[in-house]
Amino acid sequence: MTGFFDIPSDLQHSWLGLIGLHLREALLPVLAGLVAALPIAQLCARFRWLYPPVLGVTTVLYAVPSLAFFVVLIDYTGQTELTVMIPLAVYSLVVLVPAIVDGVRSVSQETLAAATAMGFGPLRRYLQVQLPIAVPAILAGLRVATVSSISLVSVGALIGNQGALGNLLADAMFYHRPVLAVNSVVTTAVLAILVDALLVLVRLVLTPWMPPGARPKRKAAARPEPAAVAGEEAAR
Amino acid sequence: MIRIDSVTKRYPDGTVAVDRLSLEIPDRSITVLVGPSGCGKTTTLRMINRMVEPSEGTITIDGADISRQPVNSLRRSMGYVIQNAGLFQHRTIVDNIATVPRLLGWSKDRARARARELMERVGLDASLAKRYPYQLSGGQQQRVGVARALAADPPVLLMDEPFSAVDPIVRKGLQEELLRIQDELGKTIVFVTHDIDEAIRLGTMVAVLRTGGRLAQYAPPAELLSSPADSFVEDFLGTDRGIRRLSFFTSETLELKKTPIVAVDSTAEQIASRTDPDTPYLLVTGLDGRPLGWSEPEDLVAGEIETERLLPYGRPFVHGKDSLRAALDAAVLSPTGWAVAVDGDGQVIGAVSQQTIGEAIRSAHAEGRDDAKVAG
């Protein structure tokens, strides 16, 4: 029981099981974040004065350490996956809201005027013109949010083995098996890269209308590197 | 008929974009709104489809007040063409054109079939149907813009500086295409531009607006050139309005001289018989009747005419089809001062001197003044 893929029984999962758990804990929050970010961003694009305060709030929330979130949430949601996922969903907003707002705003005045002049109402115009044209920017944001979420799930290990692959880090110490830590880090990294590649593929499929070589504006990339964030989180 | 009745647009900050403007825009013709930037021409256009609501005054179409009509159905009954086309970059060309029919509830197949029909009408190759806007040139995109505006066959077409962003040669092509399409379809077109040449070229009626959104003059282009209402309109028309006005006079009235023309295979007697003190040069034509060049009679030796030594003849004009402006241009370009007149096939039918063209211009102007008196 010392192989690379031999997982201690206290985690109650095989290696593949941990991967599945990790993906669920990482991706559901991003999905929830996207569902929340879409209407928030729509409001910010519609009422320009709203954007700076919204951006401020999401940034402040991003600055709250996940441990602090856990302390508050644990009274309500206990030592569960949900307690891990709620902060992750909140963190994803800081990337997704600006990505969607920038994307929606990048639609040219001419295109908007043409849509209005052809008889598109505001909602139809948002759904059929602005949002589709914002897809490259939204996916750029989704990539950052997803990769960062995958690396952040590991902190769930702090509240009783809710960190999926992150739990291996704790077990590596308990059982003096450094190979488990290597497994955790490598698997998480490979997972992040694969999911990122998948999102690039999704972008290519969804936007056949983009000139090849044209890159979407990646303002989101100016956010902290996910790896660095993961490091900070681990240090907390 | 679209009737704009003492319409004012005042913004909350007090700026007046359009000031008590009244215009009657006739059906099935091109009415151009032209003026410097800030003259309210685009605002006026956008009030017609209610993208801007007037502060005062009313706009009616065939007697019906547009402010009482549902805004989206009003807009769907008007084609709209904008600078840079404003195409939907995420939709194919055929789907871009099919937009309004789809909004009107047509089936996808019917809308696409209609879109393909329009691509042909505006001169777009069918192979472009499945392409995306980024794959098209600026001129092609603008054609898509026109096709999209025409898709649901609206009676009214609003065009906001549609050809401003393309280069002059493409623009000329698009203008010709628009005139051709208009001949076929007879839409009521309101066309906004800052380019007076474009206004004169396309307009049946031209409304010149001045800064502050006031109407300076509303007249057919020929009248605008011959009798500008004031110094603003005169300045706006530019320094060569006299020359440009000649575009509206036919060259048909020019009396052609047929004597100074010799074929390249003429005999010495024929050359001698063509020599005339009033026409110091002779035009040599090829065996196909096309012009070769000018020469002084004494330089021409029968049977040994060296075509490469002839003086160039500039650019001929088509008698009766081209305007006096083209004839004058041909005379100015010709080193001998004589313009070469050809028929529709390019065969020489005569020559005309600058002097004769000058006389024709004077008499055309005199008639123009008589017409103006009758009209007044």
Kindly report the nearest CA distance between residue B83 and chain A, in angstroms.
Answer: 7
Q: Which of B93-102, B230-239, B276-285 has the lowest mean pLDDT?
A: B276-285
Q: What is the pLDDT of residues B94-144, one digit of tens each?
A: 999 999 999 999 999 999 999 999 999 999 999 999 999 999 999 999 999
Q: Alpha-carbon distance B226 to B106, whole Å?
A: 49
Q: Is the pLDDT of residue B369 over 70?
A: no
Contact of A213 with chain B, judged by CB distance below 8 Å, is answered with no
Q: Is the pLDDT of residue B376 over 70?
A: no
Average pLDDT taken over every residue of chain B: 91
Q: What percent of chain B shows pLDDT beyond 70?
A: 98
Looking at per-residue pLDDT, the higher value among B99 and B275 belongs to B99
* Spans of chain A, pLDDT less than 70: 1-2, 214-236
Kindly report the nearest CA distance between residue B351 and chain A, in angstroms.
Answer: 51
Ordered domains of chain B (ranges, CATH): 2-248 (3.40.50.300), 252-361 (3.10.580.10)
Q: Is the pLDDT of residue B79 over 90?
A: yes
Q: What percent of chain B shows pLDDT beyond 90?
A: 69
Q: What is the mean pLDDT of residues B353-364?
A: 89
DSSP state of B186: -
Q: Do B76 and A118 touch (CB under 8 A)?
A: yes
Q: Which of B29-33, B44-48, B248-252 has the lowest mean pLDDT?
A: B248-252
Res A1: pLDDT = 53
Res A228: pLDDT = 40
Nearest CA in chain A to B99: A118
Res B143: pLDDT = 94
Q: Alpha-carbon distance B29 to B202, whole Å?
A: 10
Provide the CATH topology of domain A14-235. Answer: MetI-like fold (1.10.3720)
Res B372: pLDDT = 47
Q: Alpha-carbon distance A164 to B136, whole Å?
A: 50
- Break chain B down into helix, strand, coil percent, rounded to 5: 40, 25, 35
**Across chain B, which distance is largest between two alpha carbons, in Å?**
84
Res A215: pLDDT = 56
Q: Alpha-carbon distance A72 to B60, whole Å?
A: 64
Res A217: pLDDT = 47
Q: What percent of chain A shows pLDDT beyond 90?
A: 51
The stretches of chain B forming alpha helices (DSSP H) are: 41-48, 71-76, 93-97, 99-103, 108-121, 138-150, 168-185, 196-202, 221-226, 231-237, 241-245, 268-274, 324-333, 354-375
- Chain A positions in Cβ-Cβ contact with residue B192 (cut-off 8 Å): none
Domain extents for chain A?
14-235
Q: Do A108 and B87 touch (CB under 8 A)?
A: no
Res A77: pLDDT = 87
Looking at per-residue pLDDT, the higher value among B217 and B241 belongs to B217
Q: What is the pLDDT of residues B56-78, one digit of tens each?
A: 999 999 999 999 999 999 999 99
Query: Cα-flanking dihedrals φ and ψ of residue B186, to 5°?
Result: 60, 55
B51's tokens: 């993208």
Q: Alpha-carbon distance A235 to A152, whole Å?
A: 12
**Residue B46 CB coordination number (10 Å):** 22
- Chain A positions in Cβ-Cβ contact with residue B88 (cut-off 8 Å): 111, 114-115, 129, 133
Q: At A115, which amino acid appears?
A: A
Average pLDDT taken over every residue of chain A: 85
Q: Is the pLDDT of residue B361 over 60?
A: yes
Contact of A210 with chain B, judged by CB distance below 8 Å, is answered with yes
Q: Alpha-carbon distance A202 to A29, whole Å?
A: 19
Confidence of residue B54 (pLDDT cuts 50, 70, 90): very high
Which residues are paired to B16 by β-bridges?
A: B10
Res B242: pLDDT = 84
Q: Alpha-carbon distance B339 to B314, whole Å?
A: 8
Confidence of residue B373 (pLDDT cuts 50, 70, 90): very low
Cβ–Cβ under 8 Å, residues B71 and B153: no
